[in-house]
Amino acid sequence: MWRPAGIALVLLALAIGSIFWPAAAPSTLRDRVATVPVEPERTLTIAAFGSSLTRRALWPGRLKDALAACGIGAAPAIVIAQAGAGSPEGADLIGTAPGPFDVVLLEFAINDADLIDGVPRAVSRSNHRRMISALRSRDPEVAIILIATNPVSGVQKLKRPKLMAYYDDYSLLAEEADTGFFDGTARWIAADPGPEAVPDGLHPVPAVEADLYTVPIRDLIAGTLGRDCKEP
């Protein structure tokens, strides 16, 4: 017969295991396009909100030329990102952003998923709904794209064992709120650039990331505008 102390230890072990057991990585590409009406000849204004991953990324700076290569005019993308930012900070960043924007990319799940400094999944989803609502209240026709980024490893994976579940939530939230979703995680896994591409287990080498992400993000933006972005 199990003694109460033994039962308590088993329950404790199960609880700890449920916290640290990693969520499954995506097995398929889950990009989602949500079209919005934009004047064909309009020069797009693009903003990328996010954490240090977005702040140090090269792909936002490459979008202008990438879009121009398929006949879409865009101003240089504005990066509004903060090291350590999760969705609570994201709401503040959006509140103080200049705007309005034609296209907004949101990347905050990486820090929401942190066991130490993050927030529960339900809170993350609620915060993102508020950000989406705030952006649409300023500009009802803004195109919003949620961004899932690279997997993490080592200590960073121990700190973020449920990161893939937070990215799953992005995919589901995109359906619920009718936004776009860019599945950078599935692309990263498929390309398998190796551990040297994420030397600290969290931050990808910006050039490697940009080579992998710029064109598909460009294509997703084009699809959002109802355009088929094919380079000549």
Burial class (CB in 10 A: 0-12, 13-18, 19+), 54: buried
Identify the sign of the CA torsion 70, 75, 208, 158.
Answer: negative
Beta strands in the chain (DSSP E): 46-50, 78-81, 103-107, 143-148, 180-183
- Give the per-residue pLDDT at 15: 36
- Give the per-residue pLDDT at 17: 43
- Give the per-residue pLDDT at 23: 57
Cα distance between residue 186 and residue 167, in whole Å: 10
- Give the per-residue pLDDT at 10: 36
Q: Indicate the fold that domain 32-224 takes in CATH.
A: Rossmann fold (3.40.50)
- Give the per-residue pLDDT at 152: 95
- Give the per-residue pLDDT at 13: 38
Cα distance between residue 106 and residue 19, in whole Å: 26
**148 beta partners:** 183
DSSP code at position 58: S
Cα distance between residue 155 and residue 6, in whole Å: 30
Q: 164-173: b or e for each residue (b if 16 or more CB lie within 10 Å)?
A: bebbbbbbeb
- Give the per-residue pLDDT at 65: 96
- Give the per-residue pLDDT at 56: 97
Q: Measured between alpha carbons, how far apart are the two ends of the chain, in Å?
A: 74
Q: In which residue ranges of the chain is pLDDT below 50?
A: 2, 6-21, 232
Query: 19: alpha, beta or left, given left = phi > 0 and alpha = psi -120 to 50?
Result: alpha
Cα 188–chain centre separation: 13
Task: Specify the length of the chain in residues.
Answer: 232
44-88 pLDDT, tens digit per residue, is 999 999 999 999 999 999 999 999 998 899 999 999 999 999 999
Among the listed residues 183, 230, 222, the one whose alpha carbon sits nearest the alpha carbon of residue 73: 222
